[in-house]
Structure 1
Amino acid sequence: MMQKIQKFGGAMFTPVLLFSFAGIVIGIGTLFTTQAIMGSLADPSSGWFKCWNVVLQGGWTVFNQLPLLFVVGLPIGMAKKQNARCCMEAFVLYLTFHYFLSAIISQWGDFFGVDFSAQVGGTSGLTMIANIKTLDMGMIGALLISGLVIYLHNRFFDTELPEWLGTFSGSTFVFMLGFFVMIPVAIIAAFTWPKVQLGMHVFQGFVKSAGALGVWVFVFLERILIPFGLHHILYSPFYYDNVVVPGGLYSYWATKLPQIAASKDSLRSLLPEAAFTSTGYSKIFGCPGIALAFYATAKPEKKKQVLALLIPITLTAIFCGVTEPIEFTFLFVSPVLFVVHALLAATISTTMYLAGIVGIFSGGTIEMASLNWIPLMGNHWQQYLLQFAIGLCFTGVWFVVFRFLILKFDFKTPGREDDAEEIKFHSKAEYRERQNGSQVDEKTAFAIEILEGLGGKDNIVDVTNCATRLRVNVKDEKLCKDDPYFKSIGAHGCSANGKSYQVIVGLKVPSVREKFEQLL
Structure 2
Amino acid sequence: MTTNRQKITLWEFFQSLGKTFMLPVALLSFCGIMLGIGSSLSSHDVLTLIPFLDNTVLQLIFTWMSKTGSFAFSYLPVMFAIAIPLGMARENKGVAAFAGFVGFTVMNLSVNFWLTAKGILPNGDAALLKANNVQTILGIQSIDTGILGAVIVGIIVYRLHERFHTIRLPDALAFFGGTRFVPIITTVVMGLVGLVVPLIWPFFAKGITGLGWVINSAGNLGPMIFGTGERLLLPFGLQHILVAIIRFTEAGGTMDVCGHSVSGALTIFQAQLSCPTTSGFAESATRFLSQGKMPAFLGGLPGAALAMYHCARPENRHKIKGLLISGVVACVVGGTTEPIEFLFLFVAPVLYLIHALLTGLGFTVMALLGVTIGNTDGNVIDFVVFGILHGLSTKWYWVPVVAAIWFVGYYAIFRFAIMRWNIKTPGRELESRDAEKSIASAGAGKSGYNTPAILAALGGSENISSLDNCLTRLRLSIVDMSKVDDAVLKANGAIGVVHLNAHSLQVVIGPQVQSVKDEMAQLISQPA
What is the TM-score with the length of structure 2 in the denominator? Answer: 0.87
Distance of aligned partners of 1:6 and 1:388 in 2 relative to their CA distance in 1, 3 Å threshold: same
Structure 2 contact 102–186 (Cα < 8 Å) conserved: no
Q: Match for 1:341 among 351, 355, 365?
A: 355
Once the two structures are superposed, what CA deviation does each residue of 1:362-401 show, in whole Å capped at 9, x if it has no partner? Answer: 4111123212221233x45xx3323321221111111111
Once the two structures are superposed, what CA deviation does each residue of 1:317-372 show, in whole Å capped at 9, x if it has no partner? Answer: 01110011111111122212111110111122212222222322641111232122
In the alignment, structure 1 residue 155 sits paired with structure 2 residue 155: no
Q: Match for 2:312 among 275, 298, 314?
A: 298
User: Which residue number corresponds to residue 512 of structure 2?
Assistant: 508
Q: Distance in 2 between matches of 1:454 and 1:387?
A: 43
Q: CA deviation at 1:115?
A: 9.7
- What residue identity is the alignment partner of 2:178? G
* Alignment map for 1:192-231 (pairs within 5 Å): 192-231=200-239
Structure 1 contact 279–361 (Cα < 8 Å) conserved: no
Structure 1 contact 279–362 (Cα < 8 Å) conserved: no
Q: Match for 1:311 among 307, 325, 337?
A: 325
Partner of 2:374, secondary structure, is coil
User: Which residue number corresponds to residue 37 of structure 1?
Assistant: 46
In the alignment, structure 1 residue 414 sits paired with structure 2 residue 426: yes
Distance of aligned partners of 1:361 and 1:229 in 2 relative to their CA distance in 1, 3 Å threshold: same
* Alignment map for 1:222-371 (pairs within 5 Å): 222-244=230-252, 245=254, 246-257=262-273, 270-277=282-289, 278-360=292-374, 362-363=376-377, 364-371=379-386
Q: Distance in 2 between matches of 1:67 and 1:262?
A: 24
Q: CA deviation at 1:117?
A: 4.9
Q: Distance in 2 between matches of 1:261 and 1:140?
A: 29
- What residue identity is the alignment partner of 2:166? D
Distance of aligned partners of 1:389 and 1:188 in 2 relative to their CA distance in 1, 3 Å threshold: same
In the alignment, structure 1 residue 72 sits paired with structure 2 residue 82: yes
Structure 1 contact 333–413 (Cα < 8 Å) conserved: yes
Structure 1 contact 474–500 (Cα < 8 Å) conserved: yes
Structure 2 contact 305–328 (Cα < 8 Å) conserved: yes
User: Which residue number corresponds to residue 491 of structure 1?
Assistant: 494
- What residue identity is the alignment partner of 2:176? F
Q: Distance in 2 between matches of 1:258 and 1:10?
A: 28
Q: Distance in 2 between matches of 1:169 and 1:89?
A: 15
Q: Match for 2:483 among 479, 486, 491?
A: 479
User: Which residue number corresponds to residue 4 of structure 2?
Assistant: none
Partner of 1:276, secondary structure, is coil
Q: Distance in 2 between matches of 1:419 and 1:261?
A: 62
Distance of aligned partners of 1:479 and 1:115 in 2 relative to their CA distance in 1, 3 Å threshold: farther
Q: What value does the CA root-mean-square deviation take over the aligned residues? A: 2.9
Distance of aligned partners of 1:189 and 1:43 in 2 relative to their CA distance in 1, 3 Å threshold: farther
Partner of 2:459, secondary structure, is coil
Q: CA deviation at 1:506?
A: 1.9
Once the two structures are superposed, what CA deviation does each residue of 1:231-268 show, in whole Å capped at 9, x if it has no partner? Answer: 1111012223443232432342233248999969xx7x
Q: Distance in 2 between matches of 1:271 and 1:38?
A: 24
Structure 1 contact 469–503 (Cα < 8 Å) conserved: yes
Q: Match for 2:177 among 169, 180, 188?
A: 169
- What residue identity is the alignment partner of 1:231? Q
Q: Which runs of 5+ in 1 are unaligned?
A: 433-440
Distance of aligned partners of 1:150 and 1:259 in 2 relative to their CA distance in 1, 3 Å threshold: closer
* Alignment map for 1:411-450 (pairs within 5 Å): 411-419=423-431, 422-426=434-438, 441-443=445-447, 446-450=450-454
Structure 2 contact 264–285 (Cα < 8 Å) conserved: no
Structure 1 contact 42–48 (Cα < 8 Å) conserved: no
Partner of 1:17, secondary structure, is helix
User: Which residue number corresponds to residue 20 of structure 2?
Assistant: 11
Q: CA deviation at 1:199?
A: 3.9
Distance of aligned partners of 1:455 and 1:50 in 2 relative to their CA distance in 1, 3 Å threshold: same
Q: Distance in 1 between matches of 2:276 and 2:408?
A: 31
Once the two structures are superposed, what CA deviation does each residue of 1:5-28 show, in whole Å capped at 9, x if it has no partner? Answer: 222221221221212211110110
Q: CA deviation at 1:425?
A: 1.7
User: Which residue number corresponds to residue 437 of structure 1?
Assistant: none
Once the two structures are superposed, what CA deviation does each residue of 1:68-122 show, in whole Å capped at 9, x if it has no partner? Answer: 1111111232001100111111111221111111111221266xxx996554986
What is the TM-score with the length of structure 1 in the denominator? Answer: 0.89
User: Which residue number corresponds to residue 436 of structure 1?
Assistant: none
Q: Match for 2:397 among 380, 385, 394?
A: 385
Identity %: 28
Once the two structures are superposed, what CA deviation does each residue of 1:273-325 show, in whole Å capped at 9, x if it has no partner? Answer: 32111234311111111111101211111122222221121011011100111
Q: Which runs of 5+ in 2 are unaligned?
A: 1-8, 255-261
Q: Distance in 2 between matches of 1:258 and 1:128?
A: 18
Structure 2 contact 297–332 (Cα < 8 Å) conserved: yes
Partner of 2:465, secondary structure, is strand
Structure 1 contact 34–258 (Cα < 8 Å) conserved: no
Q: CA deviation at 1:165?
A: 1.5
Q: CA deviation at 1:428?
A: 7.0
In the alignment, structure 1 residue 89 sits paired with structure 2 residue 99: yes
Q: CA deviation at 1:475?
A: 2.3
Q: Distance in 2 between matches of 1:417 and 1:116?
A: 72
Structure 2 contact 311–415 (Cα < 8 Å) conserved: yes
Q: Distance in 2 between matches of 1:175 and 1:151?
A: 12
Partner of 1:171, secondary structure, is helix
Partner of 2:426, secondary structure, is coil
Q: Match for 1:138 among 131, 146, 155?
A: 146
Once the two structures are superposed, what CA deviation does each residue of 1:407-443 show, in whole Å capped at 9, x if it has no partner? Answer: 11111001112438754425677997xxxxxxxx454
Structure 1 contact 31–375 (Cα < 8 Å) conserved: yes
Number of corresponding residues: 501
Distance of aligned partners of 1:124 and 1:235 in 2 relative to their CA distance in 1, 3 Å threshold: same
Structure 2 contact 293–362 (Cα < 8 Å) conserved: no
User: Which residue number corresponds to residue 403 of structure 1?
Assistant: 415
